Each structure stands twice: as structure tokens, then as C-alpha cells.
Amino acid sequence: MSLLRTFTRGAVAALSAGALVAASAPASASDGAAAEAATNAERWQIADVGSGAGSGGEVTENADGTLTFDARASGSKLASSEDGFQYFFTEIDPEAENFTLTGTFRVDDAAAKDGQSGFGVIAVDDLVAGSSRDRYFNSAGALITRYGEGTGATINGAPGGRFVRGYTGATDDATAGARDTSGSAVFDPDHRAELGTSSRFETGDEYELTLRRSNTGFHAIWHRDGDDAEVIAYEPEMLLQQDGEALYVGFAVARKIAVTVTDWSFHTIRPEDDDAAEERPVEYVEPTLDVDVTTTTPRDALEIPVTANFHGTGEILGAGGAVLASDIALSPGERATATVPLDAGANDLTVRATPSDEQPQLAAHERLASLDPVETPHTVTMRAYGEPGRSLRVAPDGSADGDGSPADPLDLHTAVAFAQPGQQIVLEGGTYSPTSAIVVERGRDGGEGEPIVLMSTPGDRATLDLSNSVGGGLHIRGDWWHVHDLEITGSGDKQKPMHIEGHHNVIERVESHHNSDTGIQISGRSSEPSSMWPSHNLVVSSISHNNADEGGNDADGFAAKLTVGEGNVFRYDIAYNNIDDGWDLYAKSTSGPIGTVVVEDSVAYANGVLEDDPAATGEGNGFKLGGESIPGDHLLRNALAFDNLGTGVTSNSGPDVRLDRVTSVDNARGVRLETGAAATAYEATGVLSWGGAASDALGLKQDDTSLLDDPTNFFDGAHGSDQVSADWFASTDREAARPEIAADGSIETHGLFELTNAAPESTGARFAANPAPTSLRVLPPVAPAHDDRPGRGHGRDKGEDHPGQGHGTRP
């Protein structure tokens, strides 16, 4: 006879979800029923779990037995790298209990939802109630949440089965395993597709969801119109990695929404009385072959990178099947290269890879769908205009048929496609209105000592108006480029106006403003190894302001985050009135630590509020120097933060931030050095924090606490009896002056928060002249195509396909 226990609804008073509490028994019942209900009710508890625990929210059982979760004030989230939620849950003995938990979720308020809002039925491997640092745990759930992040097909707030594996250590250790969400899937990719990038649920929606653990594994089920959709994780032991003695299951709600659970039921059954485990079906993995390299080049040879998801051998074929490269050893996810010769004009290549018979990377239930060769066609057009040491001329009404001379200028896309190392691309002043992003593809590189320079004509700045551009603005995936003196504006939501993915690039005197994404960002791709993440880039003498995304929480001034290598520097830069942060150096546990970033001689002010719409507000930190308790060792040196809606300078949970000569004035909070990590290694000298509405937060977990006694540090406007006062500054009048980039490229504040002799000499930011200002001389132009002299332009062959759409019209 099967042992089947059933518990339907409960009765709990209104309880804050900040602490772990047991649910009470029903208020009225017969003696026997009351005793059984009390026993069942005792196993139900309420807690804030994971990221944002204790930040607000309430769980209430209503008189009719329904459960209401109010997470509108909660900082919790169901995210791609960590989780946190209000939780009504019970502990499961995995040796004695399989279970089924079902509930109907009614969305009471989704007005403030964002991409990290979510709800559903979820089981977790381990938990520590009320602890935000304990947010790294394995889970299985039937959840309305985000799916597909990092795949290029992200869907927010959709119903699906989400499974998180990979954590083997403590729940407070972001490095204790690699988070893996493979096997997760939406039930219906087209559900509420009309909501686009917004979360696909709204106030009033209802979802009936079930999570079941059987001898087969975990079953996530959506009951919709009598037709159940199901996703199965064939791993009944997947939630016994961190705590092998127990797991937990319950209802969860996260972030900025209110949800009521009705008609809920819970059943358990002994595994020996449950159905036998089903055999896991074979999963066929489609072979993939990626060739991520430029389609245009001025070179007569090109290194072709080949990446496959299988073991095998590759080759590159030319026209007519001629073998240009062979015996390319391929391993899953590893980048192999071969160099092939190119002829002038179009070169039609075929990259072919043949899988090996043995594929040891595959799990026991996985097979390659085919061992047949996989082919990827790739056409590379080779063309050059003039020679190195010359300049290509570009105009708003330039043409792909131009020769790059002043009399016959090119369009911007074509010039970027074929510029040679040591050449300049000189833009005539005016407005350029591309219809697609200007992409410097991988392999389209300058060289050390001979960069490709993309610049405005001196004294006549060019503007990229991205209002009609699909994909954003200027994306630099190549190496050794120097962008100088451009204005960039008008990019669409989640379309980056200025994005650097390559290495050794310089972005100088760029003003990026009124875009719907971060003004200037350095980030690579999470699908690639960290050795390929962008490194040794310099953003200098640039301004980013009034950038705001539709959600109001993602458009920063400057960012170097998520996937960033070593050696990236921001110098002499100004970020103001961006909806999110001035600078964002966020790191995620899923991708791990990023390289050390240096921000120096820079200013962040009035972030979190837009100039043209003061009612639109965001997070508004000046300098945000970390994320998710991930080490980063970032350095903020000689920097000024004032009037930011959030914190002037925050570690944002980064445990090892370094501050050197930093001034913070009249931010909501001046300085915040806190983390959920077990230990810190903060360094701070010369910090002047004055006028914050909230006290500085210094959560040190380190033996060396000398920064608290350092006489150059004035946290909360004081060091001992010494107090910061207005006479420490030449001016505090924001109306009279605002920071700007000086003629030599340095920061000029016109006396605003400039320190006087009343301030200690080694305290606070002091901006000085640029000792090595950039001086660019326009190189001689390439000669017209009809000229036979060296350096003449070489146009394309007539009838040949070419880039160059969206080159705009002359203003």
C-alpha cells in the first residue's frame, strides 16, 4: 500500500519574510483533522532566501487560505547568475519523500516589474534564511522568469522549466562551482510575444504550475487550457550536492511584484511506492561550426578562426574546392586558426569540419546528431584604398563607389571595412544617419604603432545619429583602433551606441548622449574564454550623459563589466545625468572575476536623474566598482562624485576595491565599502566624503583596518575632531560652473569642488593638466582612383557586392 500524504492550503498570519518562521495550524477543524493539519502545517515555513534577503516584502495567508506575496519593495531577483525570493516552503527528506506541489498564481500587481521579476514553484538544494550572501544554490522550478540569457534569444518573464546545477560548495561562495542552466526551457516561446523584451506577464494574469520530484527526476509542468506542457530534468539527485540530507520546495516570488497563490496542494510519496524511473531518452546534439572573422579586409592573407562544438578535423577550401588549409585540429569550444591567401575582390571560402567517431565530451545520454562533415560558407572581400600613411575621406553622402579622396569620399561603412593599419578614416563634419551598426569585425585590425584612426575633421565634429540604426552604433571587435572626436546619440533600447570588444583600442574625445543603453561600454562575450575578453583599452577625455533605457535600470555612462580582461583604463572622463550609474564595473558569478579596471582623473555627477525629465529616476551611483561579491581589485584614483542620486562611490559588494584621492560631495551616501564575501581587502587613502544624506558604510572584514585611522581619510566629513567645511573648496556653486574636458584633454572644473589650502594636502581629488595631450595631424589623402601615382584609391570591381548601406545624406 502506498503512503500518500496530502496537504492542501494552510493558515498563517501575516508574516514578514525576513526571518525563518513556522506556519501555524488552521484556525478551525475537527479534533482529528485539526491534529493532522497542525502536523502538516508545522512543516511549512516562510523566509527571505538568497539575493536581497531582508530588503523588504511580506507573505500573508488570507482568510480563504490563499497566500499573498508582496515583493514590491523587495530587492530580491530571479536572475541568470544568482537568485533571491520570498519563500513559503517545506523541507523534504529525499530518502523518504518524492513530492508534487501545485499552485495557481494570480498576478496582483506587475506595474513595476522588470526582467528579474518572477514567481513559481521551486525546489532548492540548500538555504540559509535571511542571508543575502547565501545566494548560490542549485534549484529546479516551474517558474515565470528569464530564459535564454547569453544565447541571443533572451525571453523575460516567461513560463518554463528552469534547472540550475553546478554548485558543489557553500551557498555563500560564488566560486564554489560553475552555474549551469542547460536543460532549462520555456514552455511556449511565443507566449505573450506581443510584450517584446518586457516580462511576459501582466497584472491579472493567472498561471497554474506544478513541480514534481519522481524517481525519474524533476518535472516542471504548466497546466494551460487542459493541455499540460512539461520539461523534465532526468536527475533525481541534482539537489543533493550542497546538502545531501535534505532539499526544500515551495512557492517563490521575487522583485517589484505582488502575487497571490490559490488552489494549492502538496503531496508526498515514498520513492519505493512511486513509479519506477523512466529511462532518459537520447538527446541529439546538433554539430555547430562558427567562423567569427571579418568579411572585408585590405590584406592579401587572413587568419581564419574555427570553433566547433565537437572533436574533429577542419579544412578551408577556396573556389572550386581547392584546399587552402587542412588538418586543423578541433576540440569542443576551442578556437583553432589557419591563415589563407586572398585575391583582390570576393573570395568565396568554405570552412569544413568533420567530427571524429569518439566524442568524450558528451554525456552518456547524448549523441551527435550526425558525423557528416559540417560546412560554413564565408566570403571575404579584399580591397585596399591607397597605402598606409594616407587618409581615407568620408562624408555623410559618401558612397561605396567612392575612391576615398576628398573629391570622391567613401561612406562610413566602406571606409571602416577596408582601412589599412596606419591609415586614418577622416569624417567630414555633419550628421551621419546609418541604418545598421558600424561594426569593426574580428580580424579587421590595426597594429601596434600603426593603429587605424577613425576621426572627425579637426574643428568640424561628426555626429552619428543612431535613431534609425538597427543594432546600435560603433562596435569595435578588432584591435588597435583609435576613435577620436565623435558625437554619438539616439541609439535604441538595448542597442549599444559605443561598444568595445577588442584589444589595445583608444576611445578619445567621444561624447555619447541620449542613447537608450550605456554610452560607452567595454565587454566581451560570455560564450568565449576569458583570454579573449577585451583588454588594454583606454577611454580618455570622453563624456557620457543623459543615457536612459526603457526599463530605467541599465543605461550607465561608462561600463567595463561582465566579461572584461586586464588593462582597461578610463582617464579624464565625465559621466552625468545617466539613468543608472556613472560607471559600472559589475561582475557575475556565472562568468567569474573580470580584469582589474582603473578609473582615474574622472568625474561622475547627477546620475540617476535625467536633465530633461527629472521625474525619471534610476539607481544613480557615481562609481559602481563591483558586483555579486566577486573579487576585482579595481582602482578609483583622483576622482570626484557629487549630486548622485545613489552612492557616490560603492564597492557594490566587490570585496577588494581600492580608493586613492577621491572626493564625494552631496550624494545620497558618500562611500559604501561592503560585501557579502567572507573577507575583504579594501584599501583607501585620501578619501574626502562630505554631505551625504546617509552615513558612509564601511563593512570591513580584514585584519588591516588602518584605512579607518589614516589621517588623509575623512569619512562622514570628519577625521577625529577635524571637520570638512565649505571653505575647503574654491566653489560649491553648481550653477556657476560644471566640469568639462579641457583643451588638453584633462578635466576642468572651473573651481567647482577644487580643493583649497584649507584641505589637507593628500586628501581628495585634485585635477591637473594633461602632461601628454594628443595631437593628431591629418595624413595626406589617398589619391583619386584615376591617378596612377602610389597611394591612389582602388575601387571595387563593377557589379561586386559591397558593404556600405546606411551612409546617410549630406546635412
Q: Catalytic positions, please?
A: 624
708 burial via Cβ count (<10 Å: 0-12, 13-18, 19+): exposed
In whole angstroms, give the CA distance from residue 441 to residue 416: 10
Type of residue found at 524: G
CB 576 within 8 A of CB 602: no
Report the DSSP beta bridge partners of residue 532: none
In whole angstroms, give the CA distance from residue 634 to residue 638: 13
Report the DSSP beta bridge partners of residue 539: 507, 570
Report the DSSP beta bridge partners of residue 623: 583, 649
Q: What is the DSSP secondary structure assignment for residue 678, as one 8-state letter?
A: S
DSSP string, 769-795: --SS-----PPPBPBPTT--STTBB-P
CB 690 within 8 A of CB 780: no
In whole angstroms, give the CA distance from residue 25 to residue 34: 7
* Cβ neighbour number for residue 341 with a 10 Å cutoff: 13
Report the DSSP beta bridge partners of residue 668: none
Question: Which SS3 state, helix, strand or coil, does residue 412 take?
Answer: helix
* Cβ neighbour number for residue 365 with a 10 Å cutoff: 11
Q: What angle do CA 52, 56, 59 make, to 5 degrees?
A: 110
Report the DSSP beta bridge partners of residue 296: 381
Cα separations in angstroms, 414 against 394, 558, 621, 800: 9, 28, 39, 13
CB 45 within 8 A of CB 22: yes
Of 83, 47, 57, 273, the residue nearest 162 (C-alpha):
83
Q: Are strands 155-167 and 185-186 parallel, antiparallel or unpaired?
A: antiparallel
In whole angstroms, give the CA distance from residue 102 to residue 223: 10
In whole angstroms, give the CA distance from residue 717 to residue 687: 10
For 629, what's the count of Cα atoms within 13 Å in the CB-facing half-sphere?
23
* Cβ neighbour number for residue 619 with a 10 Å cutoff: 22
CB 713 within 8 A of CB 686: yes
DSSP string, 119-136: EEEEEES---BT-TT---
Q: What is the DSSP secondary structure assignment for residue 454, as one 8-state letter?
A: E
Report the DSSP beta bridge partners of residue 673: 698
Task: Work out the end-to-end distance of the chain between its first and last CA atoms, rounded to an integer number of angstroms.
Answer: 84
In whole angstroms, give the CA distance from residue 439 to residue 143: 37
* Cβ neighbour number for residue 590 with a 10 Å cutoff: 20
Of 156, 122, 185, the residue nearest 257 (C-alpha):
156
Of 729, 669, 723, 716, the residue nearest 690 (C-alpha):
716
In whole angstroms, give the CA distance from residue 619 to residue 613: 15
CB 553 within 8 A of CB 114: yes
Sole residue written with cell 503531496: 267
Beta strands in 580-691 (DSSP E): 583-584, 597-605, 623-624, 635-642, 647-650, 658-665, 669-673, 683-690
Beta strands in 477-630 (DSSP E): 481-489, 498-500, 506-513, 520-522, 538-540, 543-545, 558-560, 568-571, 574-576, 583-584, 597-605, 623-624
